[in-house]
Amino acid sequence: MEGERPEELLESAFPFLELMSRYRCAMMEVETKLRVLDEEFSMTYNRNPFETIKSRLKKPISIIDKMRRKGMPLSVENIERTLNDIAGVRVICSFPDDIYALAAMLVKQDDIKLIEKKDYIAHPKPNGYRSLHLIVEVPIFLSNCKKYMRVEVQFRTIAMDFWASLEHKLKYKKEIDHSEEIAQELEACAEIISSMDERMQEIRNRIERG
Ligand code: GTP
Ligand code: MG
């Protein structure tokens, strides 16, 4: 069978691999910015605004699937123009207030451009999903230029993450939509979890007030 030589194949893949590498750099930049804020917080206030931070790069197959769903022809330029979530950073905070404090501190940094904000905490999805989503652009400094890359940052509490992780598992176990009864049950669980977040936040407020 006649095919491309390995060198040719690698050469044609280079622009895509280069794009992915830039997203990886942007993701590292955002993660570092958040870790720096965490470090400063623990020095100044003796507490950490987040529990964990995780970064992930969207897999090529997921990129192809999403481009297809959006009806976009596959090209490196189109991928960069169309998708906001190739680089993703998830920040798991202890308390709801930490989410807004941390997000505000990130966004006000003068090299960060806020592209979009979706507040699913103030406005939960109908299924009960809660998180704060930001799309930001962060510059990465290459040998001869500066390039702004988009990164999706999701902020949620441990409680919100607990719900989202389990809901995700339940959703992808079966490729069918949940029945109305199950959807209502999931939403009810999200409400309980949310009121726990509020109570824990209130406990902290009381302790801080002394
Ligand atoms: P996507 O095409 O999924 O990226 O949706 P979108 O572009 O409208 O963005 P949105 O901000 O709604 O969601 C982006 C990401 O948030 C998803 O890829 C998930 O990681 C997470 N997410 C959104 N909705 C849900 C949900 O109902 N359940 C769970 N578990 N995660 C969700
Ligand atoms: Mg997404």
Q: Which residue has the higher pLDDT, 112 or 14?
A: 112
Closest by CA to 163, choosing from 198, 127, 119, is: 127
Q: Which of 7, 80, 137, 152 is catalytic?
A: 152
3-class secondary structure, 94: coil
Question: CA 89 → CA 1, 30, 137, 156, 177, distances in Å?
Answer: 43, 8, 13, 11, 27
Binning pLDDT at 50, 70 and 90, where does residue 177 land?
low
pLDDT digits (tens, 9 = 90+) for 57-73: 999 999 999 999 999 99
The pLDDT value given to residue 11: 82
How many angstroms separate the most distant Cα atoms in the chain? Answer: 77
Structural domains of the chain, with CATH:
6-158 (3.30.460.10)
**pLDDT, mean of residues 174-193:** 86
The whole-model pTM stands at: 0.93
**pLDDT, mean of residues 139-146:** 91
The pLDDT value given to residue 73: 94
Nearest ligand to the C-alpha atom of residue 172: 1
Is the CB of 155 within 6 Å of ligand 1?
no
Q: Which two tokens stand for residue 80?
A: 């960069």
**pLDDT, mean of residues 14-35:** 96
Is the CB of 164 within 6 Å of ligand 1?
yes
CA-168 nearest atom, ligand 1: 30
Q: Which two tokens stand for residue 59?
A: 């897999």
| Residues 45, 62: Cα–Cα separation, whole Å | 41
**pLDDT, mean of residues 76-105:** 96
CA-127 nearest atom, ligand 1: 27
152 included as an active-site residue: yes
CA-85 nearest atom, ligand 1: 4
**pLDDT, mean of residues 3-25:** 88
ipTM of the complex in this document: 0.94
| Residues 162, 16: Cα–Cα separation, whole Å | 34
DSSP class of residue 127? T
Q: How far is the CA of 85 from the centre of ligand 2 (A)?
A: 5
